Amino acid sequence: MPELPEVETIKNGLIPEVVGRRFLKASLLWPGQVRQPSPEEFRRDIVGQTVDNIRRRGKYLIFDLSGRLKLMFHLKMTGCLLIRPSDEEPLPHTRAILYLDNSTSLHFLDQRKFGAMWLVPNEDEVLGRLGIEPLDHSFSAAALRELLGKHDVPVKPLLCDQTIIAGIGNMYADEALFAAGIHPEKKTRKLKAKEYERLYSAICHVLIEGIARCGASVSTYQQPDGEPGFAHLFFQVAHRRGERCYRCDTPIERIVLRGRGTYFCPKCQRR
């Protein structure tokens, strides 16, 4: 958390509020949030920069700035970005405040301090080896089979591997596997062509629906205006341990798979 739908929702909410605005100053309430450059350089170099565009890559937010720098965020587990009046007191867990030229400011909240900010000339320094975008035109059932089929490991961890597919995390991997009727422990080499087709369609569906529902507020996630998302209200298995499957009335189970909590229906997703 947040995953692709949450980060995409944040991007969409920030664009009308931030694009075209100029940064006046940065207040780093916890300098450790800045990974590159130094906090001192960050405070200095952000001043006067205008936001030309905001993009998403995987779970990263990328602000294209007028001085050819990139302001980048990764929200990790508990991060969120809020637009607030510049004269209001910061909320609990606010780690950084970036003041804009219209009396508003961008607040980076992060309860667990895992999130990060960068101000760099080259985004590839940060993005590294991110995998394919699951909503890109180049993503297909055939591409999914090519990416996963060469491995002999459970399918769930591979869906969450950001070097393979960028943006999917625990929640939407669980939802996609349920929609495709695939057990999370099934080995990817044993998936048949029809299963890859179902999984591809399910991935696209759950991500698009997640964006349409403004993300899932199962923890600290908020939209930039402070409102929660409501995608979690439609989850079929994720975070529903012990509750009844909407499809077959079987209790949803939870296992730990490669260190990740994994939810599934044992009847709808047989091994």
- Give tens-digit pLDDT for 40-79: 999 999 999 999 999 999 999 999 999 899 999 999 999 9
CA distance 38 to 58: 25
Two structure tokens written together for 191: 């998936």
What's the chain's average pLDDT? 96
**Mean pLDDT, rounded, for 145-158:** 95
Neighbouring CB atoms inside 10 A of 270's CB total: 11
* Arithmetic mean of pLDDT, 141-148: 97
Asked whether this chain's domains 4-127 and 141-264 adopt the same fold, the reply is no
- Domain boundaries in the chain? 4-127, 141-264
Is 3 one of the catalytic residues?
yes
Catalytic annotation, pick one of 11, 56, 59, 145: 59
- CA distances from residue 206 to 2, 91, 177, 212, 256 in whole angstroms, order as listed: 15, 32, 10, 10, 22
**CATH code for the structural domain at 141-264:** 1.10.8.50
Give the confidence band of 219 by pLDDT, cuts at 50, 70, 90: confident
Comparing CA positions, the residue from 83, 248, 166 lying closest to residue 265 is 248
Q: Which fold has domain 4-127?
A: N-terminal domain of MutM-like DNA repair proteins (3.20.190)
Does residue 1 surpass a pLDDT of 90?
A: no
Question: What was the pLDDT predicted at 40?
Answer: 97
Q: With 0-12 CB in 10 A as exposed, 13-18 as middle and 19+ as buried, what is 85? A: exposed
Does the pLDDT at position 215 exceed 90?
Answer: yes
For residue 182, pLDDT over 80 is answered with yes
pLDDT of residue 117: 98
Please tell me which residue in 3, 6, 8, 195 is annotated as part of the active site.
Answer: 3
Of 113, 186, 187, 260, the active-site residue reads: 260
pLDDT over 70 percentage in the chain: 100
Q: Is residue 2 annotated as part of the catalytic site, yes or no?
A: yes
| Active-site entry in 2, 134, 157, 184 | 2
